[in-house]
Structures are given as C-alpha cells and as structure tokens.
C-alpha cells in the first residue's frame, strides 16, 4: 500500500489506523521514498508491505523493517526519474525468497549510513502516537554546506512543496463547498 508521510505520523484517525494495522496484520516492511514519486510534487511517499492474518489475541506484527531510500537521495520526474535499478539494493535487503532471513545493513558503530534497519513492535508502540515516521540517516545537505544541491534543484523542490501544500489546502476547502 502506498501512503503519504502524514499517514505514518498524524494523530487521531491516523494513529488509530496505525495501531489497528499493527494489531490485525503482519506489517513487516516500510520503504521510504523520495518526494514526488507516486503522489503530487512535494509529497513524500512510503510503501507499506503487510500480510493479512486471521484474528488473534496477540498482535501479528513483531518487527518492522525500514529501508530509507529518501535521505540523501534525489530524483526528479523529468531529469532523474526513479528506475528499477535504483531499488536493487532494497530488493536484495527485502530478501523476497525468504524475508525471515534478513540482515540489517545499518550499524551505529560499523555502518551508520546503512539504509536497512529493523524496529520491534514495542519500540514502535512506545513512540509518540505509535509514529511510523522513523529515520536515522543524517541529511548530508544540511550538514555539509559545500555539498548543497544546485540552486535550480532547491528552487524546484521549494516550488513542489508549496504547490503540494496549496493543492492539499484546496482539496480541504473544496470538501466544505
């Protein structure tokens, strides 16, 4: 299921949906994608992988694997679109032949840049509003002023974010008409 970021972090109905998802399905993987891949420009998307299960007195979700293909990754719809080859590392980490034999690529001491990391259900539920908006990689563009994106790219990203915000606002206002 593809969802925008706000579904992973908002309170109220979003929190209720997340808790139900953790209890009634086996949510096992979240792929964090860069801005503008599936939704309107400026909207960050996530792909949730889960298996439906029969009712159980104990929650099915035990741990969730996250692949951060967002931090320090830049794609544009025209100049640098997302391609299958860009997700080869994710597919290898996902291990579709046996997803129960996965290994983290992230390690605080040996590989702090690893994009593949797991969190337990307990760690998730302990977060504010059971937020699934989890990130651990440092954004290099914020830390390294010599490595900033091109001004045109920055301007395009700002425009995309403003347009996405305006479109969201228009849809909200349109719902009251």
Write the pLDDT tens digit of every residue in 28-81. Answer: 999 999 886 765 667 788 999 999 988 888 888 999 999 999 998 887 777 778
Whole-number pLDDT of residue 176: 66
Mean pLDDT over 89-105 rounds to 95
Residue 108 pLDDT exceeds 60: yes
Q: How far apart are CA 122 and CA 176, in angstroms?
A: 39
* pLDDT top residue among 113 and 140: 113
User: How confident is the model over 1-14, as pLDDT tens digits?
Assistant: 888 888 888 888 88
Q: How far apart are CA 10 and CA 117, in angstroms?
A: 22
Residue 142 pLDDT exceeds 70: no
Whole-number pLDDT of residue 120: 94
Residue 144 pLDDT exceeds 60: no
Mean pLDDT over 100-106 rounds to 95
Residue 88 pLDDT exceeds 80: yes
Q: How confident is the model at residue 146 (pLDDT cuts 50, 70, 90)?
A: low
Residue 87 pLDDT exceeds 90: yes
**Whole-angstrom Cα Rg for the chain:** 18
Whole-number pLDDT of residue 44: 82
Among candidates 64, 65, 55, which has minimal Cα distance to 23? 55
Among candidates 162, 156, 146, 165, which has minimal Cα distance to 74? 156
* pLDDT top residue among 46 and 146: 46
Q: How confident is the model at residue 167 (pLDDT cuts 50, 70, 90)?
A: confident
Apex CA 116: angle with CA 25 and CA 119, to 5°?
45
Average pLDDT, the chain: 85
Domains annotated for the chain, with CATH where assigned, are: 2-176 (3.40.50.150)
């Amino acid at each position: 299921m593809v969802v925008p970021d706000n579904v992973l972090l908002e309170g109220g109905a979003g929190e209720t949906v997340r808790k139900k998802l953790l209890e009634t399905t086996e949510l096992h993987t979240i792929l964090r994608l860069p801005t503008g891949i599936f939704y309107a420009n400026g909207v960050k998307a996530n792909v949730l992988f889960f298996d439906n299960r029969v009712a159980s007195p104990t929650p099915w979700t035990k741990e969730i694997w996250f692949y951060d293909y967002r931090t320090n990754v830049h794609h544009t719809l025209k100049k640098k679109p997302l391609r299958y080859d860009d997700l080869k590392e994710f597919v290898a980490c996902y291990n579709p032949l046996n997803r129960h034999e996965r290994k983290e690529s992230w390690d605080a001491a040996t590989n702090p840049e690893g994009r593949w990391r797991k969190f337990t259900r307990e760690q998730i539920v302990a977060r504010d509003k059971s937020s699934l908006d989890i990130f651990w990689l440092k954004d290099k563009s914020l830390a390294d002023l010599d490595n900033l994106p091109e001004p045109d790219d920055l301007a395009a990203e700002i425009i995309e974010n403003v347009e996405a915000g305006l479109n969201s606002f228009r849809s909200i206002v349109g719902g009251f008409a």
